[in-house]
Structure 1
Amino acid sequence: MEAKKRSVIAELSTGELGFLVTEVRNHLLAGVERELEPLQITAAQFVVLNSIMSGKGRTLSEFCRLLGYDSGAMTRLLDRIEAKGIIRRVENPADRRSHIVELTDQGKAVFPQARLGTEVAIRRLLAGFSENDAEALRAMLKRILANAAEG
């Protein structure tokens, strides 16, 4: 008698989903790091720059939420980016106890190159995907995130 084949959902539920997501994340970050190396920017630093440019992050707490860092680690990351002259922290007019992070002129100049490098790395991972494949991938990832938000 033939053994019943285990469902894909059952297999993913045993931890395979986490393993696959982690592996994809690791390869994505490694690819981005390679592309950004000539600019002396790390993947985490690019996330900060991209967040500023897209309007998704401007304060320490917003960056902590986006990157999953605690405030100490995020402060150290911002210190390293600021030392490169790419960002500056200015007093937050809405809350004098905090700062807003903004790109310097140097940061604005390097951002397009960094974004292009990131796109190259991600396109490499999406090689062979059709537009329909990519749309399905995006929809499924958004569905997983929506399920996670429901908790």
Structure 2
Amino acid sequence: MTNVRVEPDAARGPVPETAPAAGAEATAEVSGVLPEALTGFIGYLLRRVFARFAARTDGPEDGSREFLVLDALTGGDWVSQLDLAERLGINRTIMVGVIDRLEGRGQVLRTRNPDNRRQYILSLTDEGRSAVETGRRAVAERNARLTAVLSAEQVTRLNTLLARLLPPGTQDLVQSTEHLVEQAHHRLRRLGDEKLAGTGLRVRHYGPLSVLAASGPCPQQRLAQELAITGPAASQLVDELVDGGLVHRGRDPHDRRRHALELTELGHTRLATVAEAVGLLAAEVAELLGPGGEDELRALLVQLLEPAHPGVSEAAAGRHG
């Protein structure tokens, strides 16, 4: 067997992804003015771009994972299915299903590793190589549509900056803009959530908590508008915060027929906790991107978002002017 790829543990990729899935995130976002308090953060802008890309991409998220696996195997056999899953940030259970489907279509061959019977070696078949070529053409066409507002030079620079947000062991496996956005988004979300481990909070809670802190009591519909998300998405976030004792549902003082949301004392305390984690994540992102990289990536992400979110350029500039 030739060109078998074995990667050192130190270069392992991100912790495997967790919910929400791409489809759920895509349908949660709506067009409109984005909250100025959030537009300065690379992680937030990246999430919005990811959702926008996912909403405009044909096919299920599994298709994206399958292509990433096939594309990774073009460089040679992979000595460990688990290792490849970790490199690509794919949950190990999901990875089993991905490989099962690829093997069922005759695109991947899975064999026991003779040196470690607990591992499977993954090999690309001729059918798999054909699928990769077809997939690459489709990805190139999608990328051209998704990044139409950018010049070729800007797309190249965007890809370079996004790759810096990935672990070294992953950077050479992900090439297309849509997949770089996806992988970078998942990694930053995991890094942020890891900073909140044990608190019951997630970085996604920063948006609603900060908006409620600034706006005071407000109806859920207004919160959804402020965050530019759907009503059901806002409802899910609010339910999580109410269950955690961070938000209270009271009566709207301006309309007693409606409920109004406001932070509890615990909510104000936990907002500081989430804000600290978001700040630490922003500092980590700035370090990964290098001098000037944060401003450059922010400008490119904003340019991608401007068609759906007029005024986002001014909002982001206002945060970092």
> What TM-score comes out, normalization by structure 1 length?
0.72
> 5+ unaligned residues in a row in structure 1: which ranges?
1-8
In structure 2, give the amino acid aligned to 1:53. Answer: A
Counterparts of 1:9-28 in structure 2, within 5 Å, are 12-13=143-144, 16-28=176-188
Equivalent of 1:126, from 277, 286, 289? 286
The C-alpha deviation readout for 1:42-81, integer Å capped at 9, x for no partner, is 23323321232354x943224435263442x532431221
CA radius of gyration, larger in: 2
Cα displacement (A) at 1:116: 0.7
The whole-number CA distance in structure 2 between the counterparts of 1:105 and 1:113 is: 13
The whole-number CA distance in structure 2 between the counterparts of 1:77 and 1:149 is: 22
1:105 partnered with 2:236: no
The whole-number CA distance in structure 2 between the counterparts of 1:45 and 1:118 is: 10
Secondary structure at the residue paired with 1:37? coil
Secondary structure at the residue paired with 1:148? coil
Equivalent of 2:194, from 30, 34, 42? 34
Structure 1 residues 59 and 35: alpha-carbon distance in aligned structure 2, compared to 1, 3 A threshold? farther
> What TM-score comes out, normalization by structure 2 length?
0.38
The whole-number CA distance in structure 1 between the counterparts of 2:205 and 2:292 is: 31
**Counterpart contact for 1:59–1:99, Cα < 8 Å:** yes
Q: Comparing both structures, which one devotes a greater share of its residues to helix?
A: 1
RMSD, matched Cα? 3.1
Cα displacement (A) at 1:88: 0.9
Corresponding residue for residue 251 of structure 2: 91
Q: Percent of aligned pairs with the same residue?
A: 19
Q: What is the count of residue pairs matched by the alignment? A: 141
> 5+ unaligned residues in a row in structure 2: which ranges?
1-139, 147-175, 311-321
Secondary structure at the residue paired with 1:127? helix
